[in-house]
Amino acid sequence: MKVLVINCGSSSLKFQLIDSESESCLAKGLCERIGIEGSMITYAPEGGEKEKNVTPMPDHTEAIRLVLEALTNSKTGVVKSLDEIGAVGHRVVHGGEKFAQSVVIDDEVMKAIEECNDLAPLHNPANLIGINACKALMPKTPMVAVFDTAFHQTMPEEAYMYGLPYEYYKKYKIRRYGFHGTSHSYVSKRASEVLGMSYENLKIVVCHLGNGASVSAVKHGRCVDTSMGLTPLQGLIMGTRSGDIDPAIIEFLAHKENKSIDEIMAVLNKKSGVLGLSDNLSSDFRDLEEGYHKGDENAIRAMKTFCYNVAKYIGAYAAAMNGVDVICFTAGVGENAALVRTFICEYLGYLGVKIDQEANGKRGEDTVISTIDSKTTVMVIPTNEELAIARETVKLL
């Protein structure tokens, strides 16, 4: 079956068409600036040239229409007609406590996703718009929702509760949910396959380090803790997000800088993380690595603080699982930044971690980067959230 995977943001839409039998990506692309002047679509068929077209996209329905047109185009398209697309898998950010698994989308599911809008006001409404736009253009094609939060629903109460009045949990469902679940699930399973070991017997820490970053503890195939919380702002220091801070800082800064709560939240989401720590040098680890090698003190501070922070979470999750067998690095930074992996692993001598620097220099493939005598296995596993969504979609249908 050919599955169209859609990841819809408020002004962007990423897509991939995946052949579920061969698990290959037939075409992929991105619509940007939807509803804004200068919208453009990037489209790349497998093995073909990438093309970029600036074209008006007043809304998501028009964006999806252009995607479907590109996929069926007589020259660069990869299917003859839309009938060849057997299903659509949608990434949905927040499934609250309602969804511990992916689901086939029907009216009831749409309502339930909408009820989670409060918990992810920037993401869920955009996801729903994407689903509605697809339904309008492909009314007979079955659709599946795959939630970022679902994999983390197995966390025990002591891992997901905050030390707040319990009434806020009862009234508003304030608790840790966690995100990047599709990636944490895919990477941890893949690690066990690559090692040829049973998923149900392993204790795995997954470090998903991208622009957004999170760590999770996967014990015997179930997530038992994760670093992001009610929202994706909690946990690790990220590209531009602060991660964990003393909550009192918000009030302190609001007074000192004469800013509203909304303005402070924008600082925490967009101007903090390694961008803020590096005194605005960059949120991109390619720039930070370069700066580090040149001895730039802003780059050094950002790199060191980021890596120390990840190492502390690994320690916490080793404690949560009473040990750890495998540590996996994934996503843009985790897969590519060898220096970041080296710095993090320097803190892990107590877990018997020893890194093979030659293996650590490889890119783009599933690799064990620890030495044979390392007590804990350390791996790089490239994540593939689109493939995971396509697999879930096929499984449900």
332 binds ligand ADP (CB under 6 A): yes
For ligand ADP, the closer of residues 102 and 336 by Cβ is: 336
- Contacts with ligand ADP by CB under 6 A: the residue count is 13
| Span interacting with ligand ADP, options 12-20, 41-49, 124-132, 279-287, rule CB under 6 A | 279-287
- Shortest distance in whole angstroms from residue 341 CB to ligand ADP: 10
Q: Within positions 237 to 266, which residues make up the interface with ligand ADP, using CB under 6 A?
A: 239
CB atoms within 10 A of CB 163: 4
> Rounded to whole angstroms, how far apart are CA atoms 103 and 147?
9
Amino acid letter for position 29: G
Per DSSP, the residues of 127-186 read: HHHHHHHHHHH-TTS-EEEEESSGGGGG--HHHH--SS-HHHHHHH--S---S-HHHHHH
Could you say which of 13, 88, 146, 333 contacts ligand ADP (CB under 6 A)? 333
Q: Quick one: which of 270, 303, 305 has its CA closest to 289?
A: 303
355 pairs with which residues across the strands? 370
Residue nearest to ligand ADP (CB): 332
Q: Quick one: which of 40, 47, 42 has its CA closest to 25?
A: 47
Could you say which of 336, 374, 376, 393 contacts ligand ADP (CB under 6 A)? 336
| Span interacting with ligand ADP, options 12-20, 151-159, 326-334, 367-375, rule CB under 6 A | 326-334
Residue 56 CB contacts under 8 Å (≥ 6 apart), including other chains: 39, 62
Catalytic residue selected from 59, 83, 148, 246: 148
4 pairs with which residues across the strands? 17, 88
Q: Within positions 288 to 317, which residues make up the interface with ligand ADP, using CB under 6 A?
A: 289
124 binds ligand ADP (CB under 6 A): no
286 binds ligand ADP (CB under 6 A): yes
User: How far, in whole angstroms, is CA 372 from its chain's centroid?
Assistant: 30
- What are the contacts of 112-115 at 24+ separation with CB within 8 A? 113/145
| Span interacting with ligand ADP, options 128-136, 250-258, 284-292, 296-304, rule CB under 6 A | 284-292
Could you say which of 285, 306, 313, 329 contacts ligand ADP (CB under 6 A)? 285
| Span interacting with ligand ADP, options 43-51, 125-133, 280-288, 388-396, rule CB under 6 A | 280-288
Could you say which of 5, 71, 331, 379 contacts ligand ADP (CB under 6 A)? 331
Could you say which of 8, 31, 318, 337 contacts ligand ADP (CB under 6 A)? 337
83 is annotated as an active-site residue: no
**Cα 175-180-183 angle, rounded to 5 deg:** 140
- Shortest distance in whole angstroms from residue 333 CB to ligand ADP: 5
| Contact in structure between 39 and 17 (CB atoms under 8 Å) | no
178 binds ligand ADP (CB under 6 A): no
Phi and psi at residue 143, to the nearest 5°: -130, 145
Looking at residue 266, the DSSP 8-state letter turns out to be H
Q: Within positions 188 to 247, which residues make up the interface with ligand ADP, using CB under 6 A?
A: 210-212, 239
181 binds ligand ADP (CB under 6 A): no
Strands 326-330 and 222-226: unpaired
In the complex, the residues that contact ligand ADP under the rule CB under 6 A are 210-212, 239, 284-286, 289, 331-333, 336-337
Instruction: List, by residue number, the catalytic residues.
Output: 148
